[in-house]
Amino acid sequence: MRPRSSFALAAITAVVTAAAAQPAAARRGRAVRVPRSLAAVTTNARFCSLHEDDRGLCFGTVAVGDVGAVLTADGEHLGETVITEAIANTNRCGGVENWSIRIDRGRLGGRYFDYGATLVVGARVEPEGKIVPGVGAVPGDNPLATVMYAADTDGDGQVDLLSDQYPCDSAKRPTRANYPSHMCSEYWVAVRDHWQRARVDQQAVCNR
């Protein structure tokens, strides 16, 4: 899988490192790639699962007025819509676990989606963009992480936005504890053929 990305929302800067003097053969018309270092990347992307009744469940903080792209399980991009209702769902310890939402289906021009559609909020998704199913490989070296969502946001056939989830401690480190204190969600963005961890969300687990 060769990821590539063109996020407008990601704040991306590149620092060009000075190249050492090249041999004469290299200077005579041969293209030489200048080494580049990748700067930090951020994203405000969140994923929500949608149901047939215009309602859904979001796994990151959302609010009324947030705009997102509706992507179906069979690869269709139905357009953008807005969240018209957002209710935080709390656990027995009082912590927020997820958000129940309702969307303005009228903005989709009458197009229909089955159960399993995804609302991608906070990320630019081109008309050719789509959800990519069956992605099992998680970027990085965390054996406890499981892929939750993977998207090809620019429609080039390559996954460039991915979220995973893993049990973690209060410092966001992976843990194999029987009763982890937290769950962490990582958001990855592909930049110039390299995955970068753009954000890690943390949620306290209610163990009572």
**CA distance linking residue 41 with residue 23, whole number of Å:** 35
Could you tell me if residue 140 is left (phi over 0), alpha (psi between -120 and 50 degrees) or otherwise beta? left
DSSP, res 174:
B
Is the separation of the CB atoms in 163 and 151 below 8 Å? no
pTM check: above 0.85: no
Joined together, the tokens standing for residue 121 give: 């909020």
**CA distance linking residue 37 with residue 139, whole number of Å:** 18
- Give the amino acid at 70: V
26 backbone dihedrals φ, ψ, rounded to 5°: -70, -35
Instruction: For the chain, list the domains and their CATH numbers.
Output: 46-122 (2.40.30), 127-208 (no CATH)
Task: Encode 189-204: b = buried (16+ Cβ within 10 Å), e = exposed.
Answer: bbbeeebbbbbebebb
pLDDT of 38 reads 54
SS3 25: helix
- CB neighbours of 172 closer than 8 A, spacing ≥ 6? 182, 184, 200, 202
Joined together, the tokens standing for residue 98 give: 């997820």
Joined together, the tokens standing for residue 180 give: 């982890």
**CA distance linking residue 65 with residue 143, whole number of Å:** 37
pLDDT of 110 reads 80
Is the separation of the CB atoms in 113 and 141 below 8 Å? no
DSSP element (H, E) containing 46: strand 46-50
- For the chain (length 208 residues), average pLDDT per consecutive 10? 42 37 40 49 95 90 97 93 97 93 92 85 96 91 96 95 97 96 96 93 91
Is the separation of the CB atoms in 19 and 32 below 8 Å? yes
Beta-carbon-side half-sphere exposure of residue 194 (alpha carbons within 13 Å): 11
**CA distance linking residue 80 with residue 69, whole number of Å:** 4
pLDDT of 9 reads 36
pLDDT of 37 reads 53
